[in-house]
Amino acid sequence: MNGYNEPEVFMYDSYGRKIEYMRISVTDRCNLRCRYCMPDGIENIPMSEILTFEEIAKVCSSAAELGIRHIRLTGGEPLVRKQAETLVGMLKNIDGIESVTMTTNGILIAEKLDILRKNGLDGVNISLDTLDSERYKMITGFDRLSDVMKSIASAEESGLPTKINTVVLEENADEWLLLAELAKNRNVDVRFIEIMPIGNGKSYKSLSCENVYNAIKKKYDIKPYEYPEKIGYGPAEYYEIDGFKGKIGFINAVHGKFCGQCNRIRLTSTGFLKSCLCYDDGADLKSVLRGKMDKSLKDVIYNTVYNKPEGHCFDNESMITEKSIMSEIGG
């Protein structure tokens, strides 16, 4: 644990959930335009409003002292921010931080893989919603599928723990089985994620992961994975298929509410700490960092975590107060 010799510290919310995982958006910018996340016409947030790497590290240092152990860097697309690989190294050197991982669209991973691994990146999740180049262009706005497939291959060959994230859409229903089969001959896990009614996601029908499970089960004997140890630090439920190198995961964000086991908080690129994706509640850490609030950073983080809501309200959209799009919040 990077020389961290202090007594183990844990942080709990008011419902007794141990909070140890923080997702950090390092930028709102992206080199794709996935329709459910960041459609065309979105204005970028001025860089002066985005947290610096030093500010992010300061937040992580305080969070680690409270009990945060695992960091995931997101965007936008984290690798479009210059020197994002440097931030990985900065966070890995913080006492108490056990892992730093990244969620990416995969466009730039292959060319930055060596320096990311050198700086200590512990794993990567690569977004992939289709294996058809025309459909990929339709969903993302760009013809970059070959780059993503190259990045998946490069990450796997390097030994970096690699997962594929697939959003469950009506548009890719005919490919669910093909996408799952990426785990057959590759040491990668394929996870299917229900689309959430946040931002542009509200205009999409949220399909249950159960539909994907049933599609796979028609061909394969898919069964719950018996964990010798838990895979990752998120909410995915994993399954295995005989003969497959990787696992199949399901993140039932809408139809399988897992709030009782939630262990995470989110930091937006502008420094707003969110305790739940569903609501606009949280704390403006940027104001604390830049001297506009006379409060302790650790106290603000702790109070935000303690007041984390019991659960989301995705099943009742009228109660959702979050109005930002996902690229602004962080995926």
Cα(56)–Cα(59) distance, integer angstroms? 5
Residue 10 lies in a domain: no
Residue 265 lies in a domain: yes
> What CATH number is associated with residue 263?
3.20.20.70
- Specify the amino acid at residue 232: G
The structural domain count of the chain equals 1
Q: CB 113: neighbour CB atoms within 10 A? A: 19
Residue 230 lies in a domain: yes
Would you give per-residue pLDDT tens digits along the chain (331 residues)?
Answer: 343 344 478 999 999 999 999 999 999 999 999 888 877 777 899 999 999 999 999 999 999 999 999 999 999 999 999 999 999 999 999 999 999 999 999 999 999 999 999 999 999 999 999 999 999 999 999 999 999 999 999 999 999 999 999 999 999 999 999 999 999 999 999 999 999 877 777 778 889 999 999 999 999 999 999 877 778 888 899 999 999 999 999 999 888 778 888 999 999 999 999 998 888 899 999 999 999 877 899 999 999 999 999 988 777 777 777 767 676 777 6
Residue 8 lies in a domain: no
Q: CB 224: neighbour CB atoms within 10 A? A: 9
Orientation of helix 53-66 relative to helix 297-306, angle to 10°: 60
E-assigned strand segments in 37-160: 70-74, 99-104, 123-127
Candidates 58, 324, 188; CA nearest to 179 is 188
pTM of the model: 0.92
* C-beta separation of 216 from 222 below 8 A: yes
Q: Which residue range forms the structural domain that includes residue 112? A: 21-329
Residue 165 lies in a domain: yes
Residue 14 lies in a domain: no
Residue identified by tokens 């975590």 is 305
Residue 11 lies in a domain: no
Cα(301)–Cα(190) distance, integer angstroms? 33
pLDDT at 2: 41
Residue 3 lies in a domain: no
